[in-house]
Every structure is written in structure tokens, then in C-alpha cells.
Amino acid sequence: MMRRALWQGLVSGAAGVAVMTLGEKVEQRLTGRPDSYVPARVLQRLTGMKERPGRQPLAVNWAMHFGQGIVLGVLRSVMAHAGLRGPSASAKFAVVRLTNDQILENATGVGAPPSTWPRAELAVDLLHKAVYAFATGAVADALAARSGPGPGQRHAAVLPGRHADVGPLPRETTRSR
């Protein structure tokens, strides 16, 4: 399962970040919002690269922007393979995507907590990260579905919901096909 989740997650994350980036570019054209160089600044701080004032190197910016989205897709793929699929799972994943950004941006001193942002800026960020999460989830779910239901889904088929008197499925039924 993990080998499939890895490659499918990388594909899912790439698709999600491509959709998010396309949406960002359309939104920027409509609103006039400038490019953000926060990804480049975070990567520079994380790796010890030389920092520059003003506009950042596009390659460094894209490396962090796309790299983060692609790598996080693996987690969404693992979720899908475990049986956590659909819009509810993608909504949970959106929180993970936002949290990942905020940990890196705030820990490096590049960003500030979202509670301090102007509301319009926060809304735009939330929208784009949700687009990423749901696009990534759609691809991850579709790819994982080719292997059949995940262990969680097979367990729910025994008796939907959480029940203290329903034990785990036998090991041989929890392995992905």
C-alpha cells in the first residue's frame, strides 16, 4: 500500500498544486494582487541559502511552492488508501495544508500568524489552499479507488459507525489489494 500511496500521492499533489497555481494566477489577474515570494524566503531560511531583499529567484519560489504541494500529496494519498476519501477527507486535508504552511512560515520568521492578517488576504489564502486540497483529494481518491475499499471502509462495512463491541478486522482483510 505504501509504495502505491507514495507514487500516487506525488501525482495527486502535483495535480493539486497545478490547479491551485492556475487558480492563483487567474485570481491575481482579476484582483491585481502581486506574486508572493514567501515560499522562496521560507526555503532560503530552511536551507541556509543566501537571502535577498525584494523580488526572489523564481526557481527558488517555484521549488518551494510546487515541492510542498507535491510532497503533501503523499499524505492525502495515504488517507485515501486507508479509506478516508471524499469531500470530508479533503476538508480535513485542507487544514493540514494550511497548518504546514503556517508552521514553516512562522518557525522561520518569514510569516506572521493568520490571525494578524487582513481578512481579505486570509480569505484568498484559505480559498487557494482549499482548491489545492480538494483537487489533490479528487485525484488521490480516484487512484486509491482502483485498489478497492481501504481498511477503514471495509471495517465500516461490517457495522457503520464506531462501536466498542466491534473489534478490528482480521489482519488478512486489512491489507490493500
Question: What is the reported pLDDT for 175?
Answer: 59
Residues of the chain predicted below pLDDT 50? none
Q: Can you tell me the distance from the alpha carbon of 136 to that of 18, in angstroms, rounded to the nearest whole number?
A: 10
**What's this model's pTM, rounded to 2 decimal places?**
0.90
Using the Cα atoms of residue 125, residue 131, residue 137 and residue 143 in order, give the sign of their dihedral: negative
Coil, helix or strand for 84? coil
Half-sphere exposure of 168 (CA within 13 A, CB side): 7
Q: Which of 127, 132, 20, 124 lies closest to 75 in space, CA to CA?
A: 132
Q: What's the pLDDT at 162? A: 77
Total number of residues shown for the chain: 177
What would the grid cell of residue 7 be? 507514487
Alpha carbons 113 and 146: distance in angstroms, whole number: 40
